[in-house]
Amino acid sequence: MTERVVLAYSGGLDTSVAIGWIGEATGAEVVAMAVDVGQGGEDLNVIRKRALDCGAVEAYVADAREEFADEYCMPALQANGLYLDKYPLVSAISRPLIVKHLARAARKFGATTVAHGCTGKGNDQVRFEVATTSLAPDLKTIAPVRDLALTREKAIEYAEKHDLPIATTKSNPFSIDQNVWGRAVETGFLEDIWNEPTKDVYSYTDDPTFPPVADEVIITFEQGIPVAIDGVAVTPLQAIQEMNRRAGAHGVGRIDIVEDRLVGIKSREIYEAPGAMALIAAHQELENVTVEREQMRFKRQVEQRWTELVYDGMWFSPLKKSLDAFILDTQKYVSGDIRMVLHGGRATVTGRRSDSSLYDFGLATYDEGDTFDQSHAKGFIEIYGLAAKQAAARDAKFGNAEDLG
The catalytic residue positions are 14, 95, 124, 175
16 is in an annotated binding site: yes
271 is in an annotated binding site: yes
67 is in an annotated binding site: no
123 is in an annotated binding site: yes
311 is in an annotated binding site: no
177 is in an annotated binding site: no
190 is in an annotated binding site: no
Angle (CA) 85 88 94, round 5°: 145
Distance CA 359, CA 364 (A): 8
132 is in an annotated binding site: no
119 is in an annotated binding site: yes
175 is in an annotated binding site: yes
Positive/negative CA dihedral, 355, 359, 363, 368: negative
66 is in an annotated binding site: no
| Backbone dihedral angles phi then psi of residue 123, each to the nearest 5 degrees | -80, -30
188 is in an annotated binding site: no
15 is in an annotated binding site: yes
307 is in an annotated binding site: no
Using a 10 angstrom Cβ sphere, with 0-12 exposed, 13-18 middle and 19 or more buried, the burial of residue 238 is middle
305 is in an annotated binding site: no
Binding residues: 8-16, 87, 117, 119, 123-124, 127, 175, 259, 271
Binding residues for L-citrulline: 87, 123, 127, 175, 259, 271
Binding residues for ATP: 8-16, 117
Binding residues for L-aspartate: 119, 123-124
